[in-house]
């Protein structure tokens, strides 16, 4: 970052835990400099239980806004004043804008994920998608996929997890709002997982399995669950090639990591904050 910091510089930040791996500060500070905007972007480690204090800080310090990553996309909602229609539908937020102390939450994750498919020449319309996980990232992905015309979404979530009942409610809401065929399945039922993947066109990983303390693990047990022609996109971008993507390559699948999602959701957030078109291209990540 080489732009000058002065008394009029507006701060935009990332709240999450962890955040040390994030590429967002590099991406957005380059974009601010390229566009000639007097903003600065920083990352702060903030666990979910501290989101009230974090949103209070946005108002107190007159920040322009922030991004949110795990585990804060759902935890932040009680402390916001408004939600955009997609964020309200999915119950998760990854972008906040501060307008004179009024905080509005937006969801750009689903847009970024589906835009990444498009950028790689994948037409998702009418296709069957198996979605692993329906939390702060998975729910926006499901909603945007449904709005974009995906033919069927099969959501896998562990029945033993705390979110099992919530996932059922979110699946029902996406179906009601979009008319998309969407169903909930138990991620512990490997026979069902294998059967659903057999005729799937798209596989989306929206779980944290493959990053951080779970690096080296995959939400899919092995390559025998996959087939050539399947397109796999992992929302994880660090590491650049997760265990899931390695397994996918072994099975002859097309694989896409999370850098495209990061870029396109970030570009959309930038435009919401600034009203200016994002000045970078994906190859400048």
Say which CATH number the domain at 116 has: 3.40.50.720
The answer to whether residues 114 and 255 belong to one domain is yes
Looking at the domain assignment, is residue 1 inside a domain? no
Residue 239 has pLDDT above 50, yes or no: yes
Query: Is there a single domain that holds both residue 91 and residue 183?
Result: no
- Report the candidate in 139, 21, 143 with the shortest Cα–Cα distance to residue 73: 139
CA distance 191 to 35: 51
- In a shared domain, residues 96 and 160: no
Contacts of 37 (CB under 8 A, 6+ apart): 274, 276
Instruction: Tell me the per-residue pLDDT of 135-171, one tens digit each, with 9 for 90 and over.
Output: 888 999 999 999 999 999 999 999 998 899 999 999 9
Residue 140 · residue 109 · CB < 8 Å: yes
Q: Tell whether the model's pLDDT for residue 61 goes beyond 90.
A: yes
Q: Do 165 and 241 lie in a common domain?
A: yes
Backbone angles phi, psi at 35, to 5 degrees: -85, -5
In the structure, how many helices (H) and strands (E) does the chain have? 10, 12
pLDDT band at 64 (very low <50, low <70, confident <90, very high): very high
Same domain, 73 and 128: no
Q: Which residue has the higher pLDDT, 92 or 67?
A: 67
If asked whether residues 52 and 81 sit together in one domain, one would say: yes
Please identify every residue annotated as catalytic: 73
Do residues 117 and 231 lie in contact, with contact meaning Cβ atoms separated by under 8 Å?
yes
pLDDT in tens, 260-281: 999 999 999 999 999 999 999 9
Identify the pLDDT of residue 159.
96
Residues 86 and 176 in one domain: no
Structural domain boundaries, residue 241: 110-260
**What average pLDDT does this structure show over 96-105?**
98
Asked if 49 and 133 sit in the same domain, the reply is no
Residues in the chain: 285
**Residue 285: predicted pLDDT:** 72
Other CB atoms within a 10 A radius of the CB of residue 145 amount to: 28
Task: Indicate whether 232 and 163 sit together in one domain.
Answer: yes
Question: Span 112-125, mean pLDDT?
Answer: 97
Asked if residue 197 is part of any domain, the answer here is yes
256 shares its domain with 213: yes
* Helices 109-119 and 259-274: angle between axes, nearest 10 degrees: 130
Q: Is residue 24 a part of any domain in this protein? A: yes
Domains in the chain, number? 2
């Amino acid at each position: 970052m080489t732009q000058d910091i002065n008394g009029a510089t507006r701060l935009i930040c990332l709240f999450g835990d962890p955040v040390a791996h994030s590429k967002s500060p590099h991406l957005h500070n380059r974009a601010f400099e390229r566009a000639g905007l007097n903003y600065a972007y920083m990352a702060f480690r903030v666990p979910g239980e501290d989101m009230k204090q974090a949103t209070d800080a946005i108002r107190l310090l007159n920040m322009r806004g922030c991004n949110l990553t795990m585990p804060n996309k759902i935890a932040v909602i009680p402390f916001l004043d408004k939600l955009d229609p997609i964020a309200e539908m999915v119950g998760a937020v990854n972008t906040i804008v501060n307008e004179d102390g009024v905080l509005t939450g937006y969801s750009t994750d689903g847009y970024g994920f589906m835009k990444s498919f498009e950028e790689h020449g994948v037409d998702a319309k009418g296709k069957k998608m198996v979605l692993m996980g329906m939390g702060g990232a998975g729910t926006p992905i499901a909603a945007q996929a449904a709005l974009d015309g995906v033919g069927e979404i099969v959501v896998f979530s562990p029945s033993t997890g705390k979110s099992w009942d919530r996932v059922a409610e979110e699946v029902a809401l996406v179906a009601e709002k979009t008319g998309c065929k969407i169903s909930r399945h138990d991620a512990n039922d490997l026979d069902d997982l294998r059967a659903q993947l057999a005729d799937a066109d798209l596989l989306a990983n929206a779980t944290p399995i493959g990053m951080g303390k779970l690096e080296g693990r995959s939400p899919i047990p092995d390559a025998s669950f996959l087939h050539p022609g399947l397109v796999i996109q992992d929302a994880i971008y660090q590491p650049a090639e997760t265990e899931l993507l390695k397994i996918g390559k072994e099975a002859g699948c097309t694989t896409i990591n999370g850098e495209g999602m990061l870029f396109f959701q970030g570009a959309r957030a930038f435009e919401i904050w600034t009203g200016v078109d994002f000045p970078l291209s994906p190859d400048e990540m």
